[in-house]
Structure 1
Amino acid sequence: MKYHLPGIIEGYSHGHFLMTDDEDSGLQWYSSNEHALIPLDDRFRYPTSLRRVINQKRFTVRINGDFRAVVAGCADRDTTWISDELQEIYWELCQGGWAYSFETWLGNELAGGILGIAIGSAFIGESMFFNIPEGSKVAMVELVNHLRQQKFSLFDAQMTNPHLERFGSYTIDTQAYQDLLTIAIAQKCEFINSSQMG
């Protein structure tokens, strides 16, 4: 692997992220003029219809139950920035205790999941997907609950979209983001306890 884990974590710690632009350029570091955040306070919201689904307790939650399947699910789209090389980097980060898949399951079937990187008290969401309707939405709500319980202070969604806006996502400029990120990565947090492994 041409990218080394310490260098990757350093890049994310400075607000950059890896993605594949096209087959010619390969993996590159990118940054953005603004970042989308998912609130971890009372500004977080979700539709009443989703609340009913959660209350039905149809889905169970696992962390790293099938990390590779979540990464593959996130990459499985017509145009993807998650190349085979980046999938392997995520796996290396997972084995190093940096990357996690937060999953919903319906019985023995993977319903949906969110892929992200945890540094200090910052969770940097990379991508999400679903196999079963509502799977990724339930994962989002349960992930926010989990981050709150673990005392995380920052949930970076990188880029907003109408789907994330339904959860209260908002954007801030680069300087404001860097200030929050610097504070967050300096705070010690554990994303997962051994009892929470999938």
Structure 2
Amino acid sequence: MVALTADHLLAAYAAGVFPMAETRADPDVFWVDPRRRGIIPLGGFHISRSLARTLRRERFRATADAAFDAVVAGCAAREETWINPVIQRLYGELHGLGHAHSLEVWEGTRLAGGVYGVALGGAFFGESMFSRAADASKVALAHLVDRLRRGGFTLFDTQFLTPHLASLGAIEISRGEYRRRLAKALEVQADWTRAGPPGPGQALVQRSAQTS
């Protein structure tokens, strides 16, 4: 059996599939190609009044790519996870190549939550997120969507639609529609670094109001 590499993962994402493991202890990885795909339209992310208040109060501080390995470890640190050591290694390699990124949320010096994923062309493939404090994952997603908008991304793939993501504006589309959007997004030259360091929540809320 040929060992998976970071290049294999990039080719898989470009083809519309992504890897998972059955459990943390399972050394095998399989490919997933959902019939229905979850995405967050970058102009349709919903910041509720309560989330806007949290962002304005600056309870949390956001960073980008400051603790990638810690974010992946946080996402894997749950009783049931599809992130096994093979997947952790591969995403670490993708991060080193500049294709995998994380958005961290800090409460003081404590990592309170975060999200990570893969960037390819104008597509961002959200992999997983975690939260150790109320609203931390929502704050992370708000900063991530803001960053993707400002970087010129056109597709934010969430893989599946959950009630939590739906409350934030995520929708579900068919496999065929996803492939069409993906093909267009891969032709775009987006830039993860264009937005610079994540700024204050107040400014994020204002930008969101202007694009909604």
Normalising by the residue count of structure 2, what TM-score does the alignment of the two structures yield?
A: 0.87
* Shift, 1:4, TM fit: 1.9
Where structure 2 has 5 or more consecutive residues not aligned to the other structure, the ranges are 199-212
Match of residue 140 from structure 2: 139
Question: In structure 2, how many angstroms separate the alpha carbons of the residues matched to 1:113 and 1:56?
Answer: 19
Question: In structure 2, how many angstroms separate the alpha carbons of the residues matched to 1:64 and 1:24?
Answer: 28
* Shift, 1:46, TM fit: 2.7
The answer to whether the 8 A contact 1:46-1:166 is kept is no
Question: In structure 2, how many angstroms separate the alpha carbons of the residues matched to 1:124 and 1:179?
Answer: 15
Deviation digits for residues 48-81 of structure 1 (CA, Å, limit 9, x no counterpart) = 1111000111211111111111001101111110
Match of residue 32 from structure 2: 30
Deviation digits for residues 109-168 of structure 1 (CA, Å, limit 9, x no counterpart) = 111101110001101000000112111110111111111111110000000111101111
Aligned pairs (5 A) from 1:81-96: 81-96=82-97
Identity %: 37
Deviation digits for residues 75-97 of structure 1 (CA, Å, limit 9, x no counterpart) = 11111100011111110010011
* Shift, 1:24, TM fit: 5.3
Residue type of the alignment partner of 2:139:
V
* Shift, 1:29, TM fit: 1.4
Match of residue 120 from structure 1: 121
Aligned pairs (5 A) from 1:33-44: 33-41=35-43, 43-44=44-45
The answer to whether the 8 A contact 2:101-2:116 is kept is yes
The answer to whether the 8 A contact 1:74-1:129 is kept is yes
What SS does the corresponding residue of 2:186 show, helix, strand or coil? helix
Aligned pairs (5 A) from 1:1-198: 2-22=3-23, 23=25, 26-41=28-43, 43-193=44-194, 196=197
Residue type of the alignment partner of 2:112:
A
Question: In structure 1, how many angstroms separate the alpha carbons of the residues matched to 2:195 and 2:136?
Answer: 24
Question: In structure 1, how many angstroms separate the alpha carbons of the residues matched to 2:9 and 2:26?
Answer: 21
Residue type of the alignment partner of 1:144:
V
Question: In structure 2, how many angstroms separate the alpha carbons of the residues matched to 1:175 and 1:85?
Answer: 29
Residue type of the alignment partner of 2:31:
W
The answer to whether the 8 A contact 1:117-1:124 is kept is yes
CA RMSD of aligned residues (A): 1.7
* Shift, 1:25, TM fit: 6.8
The answer to whether the 8 A contact 1:101-1:116 is kept is yes
Question: In structure 1, how many angstroms separate the alpha carbons of the residues matched to 2:162 and 2:195?
Answer: 34
